[in-house]
Structure 1
Amino acid sequence: MPRIHTRAEDVSFAGSLIDRGWVTIVEDAEGVAGFIAREGAMVHALYIAERARGRGYGSDLLALAQNATEGLTLWTFEANTKAQAFYLAHGFAEAERTDGAGNDEKLPDIRYVWGKETT
């Protein structure tokens, strides 16, 4: 998926998530390998550094969130087919699609849910 925001915007967004206390990170020998930002049942972000992908870090972070609550919800862009496959493989179900009018990027997106009723 192409870059949507500048690096400065990404850093600012990540900082706001950290400031709210929503972030859990995973580290490897090179430093921070990824993070999940969750507020209750809402997953605001799940990101794994390109160098660390394919090592199970995303699955580990998502499992932590799944074990902490009875249900989760999240949004991903329609163009992010890798994320869609990842969430479906982890028991999420598609709940809603939009044309993107309601998000900052104005890009079509999909809401996924996970919980007792979807597993």
Structure 2
Amino acid sequence: MKARLRAADLADAGGMGDILWDFQDQNDWMPDLYPRGELIRFSEQMARKGWVTVALYGESLAGFIARDGEEICALYVRPGLERQGIGKQLIDFAKSECESLWLRCLVPNAAARQFYCREGFSEIDRGDGDENDEGLPEVTYGWALEPAT
């Protein structure tokens, strides 16, 4: 089943915050840094900036991508809906709007790292965690549209 994509509005912030909270709560490697209310406020800020595209199954928020130009700031799928093509649909949408994209991914997030590699992203840098709130090592990935021949 394909999700319906649309630009996020402020009413989506609660659902986005819930997805972020669930991700933080369900991954043992992820530090519990933020209360749910702060994640909702953060989601509100991203939506207000016009960065977010949401994926809906029916009227339910299934996932979202936040992009600031070529930088993918966030890509999350609601737990239980992984591996159903939602993340791919969101990343394909971002690719359709940009000639190149980049993002940072935490090293312990093996599933996300495999996903980005499968979707054509390549490792371009590594960090030791000094520049992220989680304090975890990270990989920077990049993707570029292949020139037409």
TM-score w.r.t. length of structure 2: 0.73
| CA shift for structure 1 position 83 | 0.3
Structure 1: which 5+ runs fail to align? none
1:82 maps to which residue?
A: 111
Local SS of the residue matching 1:44: strand
2:142 maps to which residue?
A: 113
| CA shift for structure 1 position 6 | 2.9
Q: 2:58 aligns with which of 4, 29, 33?
A: 29
- What is the distance in 1 between the residues matched to 2:63 and 2:69? 19
- What is the distance in 2 between the residues matched to 1:97 and 1:61? 24
Local SS of the residue matching 2:75: strand
Match for 2:105: what amino acid? T
1:55 maps to which residue?
A: 84
Task: Detail structure 1 runs of 4+ shifted over 6 Å in the superposition.
Answer: none
For the pair 1:70 / 2:111, whether they are aligned, the reply is no
| CA shift for structure 1 position 79 | 0.4
| CA shift for structure 1 position 9 | 2.8
| CA shift for structure 1 position 53 | 1.5
| CA shift for structure 1 position 8 | 2.5
TM-score w.r.t. length of structure 1: 0.91
- What is the distance in 2 between the residues matched to 1:31 and 1:82? 23
Q: Which has the larger radius of gyration?
A: 2
Q: How many residues align?
A: 117
Q: 1:96 aligns with which of 125, 128, 131?
A: 125
Q: 2:43 aligns with which of 8, 14, 27?
A: 14
Identity score, percent: 37
| CA shift for structure 1 position 30 | 5.6
Match for 1:114: what amino acid? W
Bigger CA drift: 13-22 or 75-84? 13-22
- What is the distance in 2 between the residues matched to 1:10 and 1:111? 23
| CA shift for structure 1 position 52 | 1.8
